Amino acid sequence: MNVLVTRAIPEPGITLLKQTCTTVDVSPHDRVLSSDELLAMSRGRDGLLTMVTDPVNAQLLDACPTIRAISNFGVGTNNIDIPECTRRRIGVANTPGVLTDATAETTWALIFAAARGVIEGEIAVRTAQWPGWGPPQYLGMGITGKTLGIIGAGRIGQRVAEMSRGFNMRILYHSRTVRRDFERSTGARFTDLPTLLRTADIISIHTPLTARTRHLIGASQLAMLKPTAILINTSRGPVIDEAALVESLREKRIFAAGLDVYEYEPELTTGLRDLLNVVLLPHIGSATVETRTKMALMSAEHLISMLQGRRPACPVNPELW
């Protein structure tokens, strides 16, 4: 078994691969590979352990006909052309579950930071721009007792809602599926998207990126938000029309936003980084030592299973087994 790991991952994952595979090559570059580099390094492989930043498309698969399995180091698989893989009987797996808490925690970090102007205040103190305490300074929005709107009630969306328990919040959600257990355990109420956008004080996006969710939040949806609303995105950047969001934040039509992901990642839409009413994180949703180690082990296990002809624990195209 000859596999490529497209970027260094925590060592336990590599060790596991080396115990089973004849050849395990890890990209020597500590950066996203270009399409050409990815293609050149993937030739002749049986399996790939890919990052969520690696586009795996028909062009790559055409050039690398020996590939039988692709294990994505992450839960989102929008970087992989799944129908194309399925058509070629290439197994695809991902790493759901192990990153739920970490991503939900990052979401709350963004909620707090955006609601209370944490970054703006920190910059002022650090750059000696803070003149000392004063009643009208850095006034934020409270969180306790407010309405939390969850868009996409999968594992992460549900966990974010559960974590609100200590803040006595009302929870609204909009999702493809009505989740009765979630409603029972959190008191969450299903609503249509416009109602959620018009009603919620804090809106947090947790939907996968698909053709249906691309620009789910555009100018007309942003116009529905309250002027006091806070918009958080830890899912995928293109779910929000970033140019429309910049406009909305610049015109102060909403209170603040918190982003971990970007439409043209790692590029930012012009104007976004000049705004102080947005908190900008570098896609660190799952970035804890524990979580990334679990993701490494899990993605290595999945790759080995698929290459040995077994169904991985987390198949993305389960119809192949």
CB of 175 vs ligand DGY, minimal distance in Å: 18
CA atoms within 13 A of residue 86's CA, in its CB half-sphere: 11
CB of 91 vs ligand DGY, minimal distance in Å: 18
Q: Which is nearer to ligand DGY, 117 or 312 (CB)?
A: 312
Q: Which is nearer to ligand DGY, 104 or 169 (CB)?
A: 104
Q: Which is nearer to ligand DGY, 47 or 285 (CB)?
A: 285
Task: Evaluate whether 202 touches 115 at the Cβ level (below 8 Å).
Answer: yes
CB of 98 vs ligand DGY, minimal distance in Å: 9
Q: Is 236 a catalytic residue?
A: yes
Task: Evaluate whether 191 touches 218 at the Cβ level (below 8 Å).
Answer: no
Give me the residues that bind ligand DGY (CB under 6 A), please. 52, 74-76, 99, 285-286
Q: Is 150 helix (H, G, I), strand (E, B) or coil?
A: strand
Sign of CA dihedral 165, 169, 170, 172: negative
Of 174, 179, 206, 283, which residue is the catalytic one? 283
Q: Give residue number: closest CB to ligand DGY.
A: 74
Of 120, 250, 265, 311, which residue is the catalytic one? 265
CB of 99 vs ligand DGY, minimal distance in Å: 5
Q: Is 283 a catalytic residue?
A: yes
- Report long-range pairs for 241-247 (Cβ below 8 Å, ≥24 apart): 241/215, 241/217, 242/268, 242/269, 242/272, 243/269, 244/217, 244/218, 244/219, 245/217, 245/269, 245/272, 246/270, 246/271, 246/272, 246/275, 247/219
Q: Is 263 a catalytic residue?
A: no
Q: Which is nearer to ligand DGY, 291 or 305 (CB)?
A: 291
Angle separating helix axes 155-162 and 100-115, nearest 10 degrees: 50
Of 159, 236, 292, 302, which residue is the catalytic one? 236
Q: Which residues form the catalytic set?
A: 236, 265, 283
